[in-house]
Amino acid sequence: METPSPLHVLCVSDFYLPGFRAGGPARTIANLRDALHPRAELSVFTRSRDLGESKPYAGLPQDRWTETENGSVFYASDRVFGPSGLKMAICARKFHLLYLNSFFSPDASIRLLLSRNLIREKSFRIPVVLAPRGEFSEAALKFKAAKKYLYLQTAKRLGLYNNIFWHASTSDEARQIEKIFPAAQSRIFTAIDAVAPQMRNFETLRSTEDGTLKIAFISRIAPVKNLDLLLDLMGSLKKPVVLNPTFPK
């Protein structure tokens, strides 16, 4: 029996491995790539540097496809990261699907969709799946609320997301997407984020023999992650508690 050809997916993300400063999305994409193989081949179009860095990754070529231990990656320089670079990446290979990992990112989402509507080339107009990655949560929408509201209203008038498919990581996120785009209900698909193989048997943290509660905070430091609330709750506990800021090995 002939093995079906894999689906070729072009994944766009502001940052990817070996970067780590942008938090979980880079690792989530890597886990997704591993989980989908060999049914789908996921290639990544991303920046050639990490968040907050001005220099590119050492030893990694820019502005062309490169095979790395983290998959096939197009590390785009700041000048190329955007519609022109995406068009270059798409023209160099054949893709069946475009997978965007942000809604509000100017370069990794908004400009790409605007250009997709303007460029009529068949190679550029492949189906799009968009993962908001928590950007539609109530807390996230409060940051730069006026600017986000203005863009949402403009995008709706332009019909920019009329034919977009959505990836929600949780049922709550699916409801958040539907609240903003009610007509997209039939185009929202929920799938939990993939977990790295070595983490699938990770045991739940428990209190130690002396009753100390050990907590691991697995996240980047950002207001939306609500570390302040965790620290407040820890302060109200009567039993000893230890917060581990690094992932336990």
Print the SS3 string covering 131-145.
Answer: CCCCCCCHHHHHCCH
Condensed to tens digits (0 to 9), the pLDDT of residues 51-107 reads 999 999 999 999 999 999 989 999 999 999 999 999 899 989 989 999 999 999 999
Given this model, what pLDDT does residue 5 score? 84
pLDDT at residue 199 greater than cutoff 70:
no
Q: Tell me what the mean pLDDT of segment 189-214 comes to.
A: 64
Task: Give me the helices (H) in the chain, please.
Answer: 25-36, 83-92, 111-118, 138-142, 145-158, 171-180, 227-236
What are the distances in angstroms from CA 235 to CA 139, 224, 230, 242? 23, 20, 9, 11
Is it the case that residue 241 has pLDDT exceeding 70?
Answer: yes
Confidence of residue 239 (pLDDT cuts 50, 70, 90): confident
Q: Residue 248 has what pLDDT?
A: 38
Percent share of the chain, pLDDT over 90: 58
DSSP class of 81: T
Q: With bands split at pLDDT 50, 70 and 90, how would you rate the model's confidence at 213?
A: confident
Highest mean pLDDT of the ranges 91-95, 114-118, 204-208: 91-95
Q: Which of 104-108's residues contact partners 24+ apart within 8 Å by CB, and which partners?
A: 104/135, 104/148, 104/151, 105/14, 107/14, 107/81, 107/82, 108/12, 108/13, 108/14, 108/81
d(CA 105, CA 98): 15
- Model confidence at 44, pLDDT cuts 50, 70, 90, reads very high
CA distance 128 to 164: 6
Count Cβ atoms below 10 Å from residue 125 Cβ, excluding itself: 13
What's the pLDDT band for 29 if we cut at 50, 70, 90? very high
User: 29-38, 95-104, 208-217: which range is least confident on average?
Assistant: 208-217
Q: Pairing relation of β-strands 128-130 and 97-100?
A: parallel
Average pLDDT for residues 195-203, to the nearest whole number?
A: 52
pLDDT of residue 117: 67
In 6-104, the DSSP E strands lie at 7-12, 40-47, 65-68, 71-76, 97-100
Best CA proximity match to 98, nearest among 197, 13, 187:
13
Q: Decide which of 30 and 231 is more confident.
A: 30
Overall average pLDDT of the 221-225 stretch: 68
